[in-house]
């Protein structure tokens, strides 16, 4: 999910493609849950 590499004397981390997909999945699930709760509360 996160890739690390050395840049001179510093360790630099970057979000990997797999991590980006995981975040998108979580955000989409969050939107679906909010939609479901809104519809349940309307009844």
Identify whether the C-beta of residue 1 lies closer than 8 Å to the C-beta of residue 15. Answer: yes
Q: Quick one: CA torsion of 21, 22, 23, 29, rounded to 10 degrees?
A: 110
18 alpha-carbon distance from chain centroid: 10
pLDDT band at 6 (very low <50, low <70, confident <90, very high): very high
pTM for the full model? 0.56
What does the DSSP 8-state code read for residue 8? T
**How long, in residues, is the chain?**
43
pLDDT at 1 over 90: no
CA triplet 31, 20, 10: central angle to 5 degrees? 135
pLDDT at 22 over 80: yes
Kindly give, in sequence order, each residue whose CB lies less than 8 Å from that of residue 25, ignoring residues fewer than 6 positions away.
none
pLDDT at 31 over 90: no
Q: What is the pLDDT of residue 21?
A: 93
Q: What is the pLDDT of residue 29?
A: 92
């Amino acid at each position: 999910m996160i890739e690390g590499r050395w840049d001179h004397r510093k360790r630099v981390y970057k979000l990997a493609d797999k991590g980006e997909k995981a975040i998108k999945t979580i955000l989409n699930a969050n939107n679906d849950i909010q939609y479901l709760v809104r519809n349940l509360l309307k009844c």
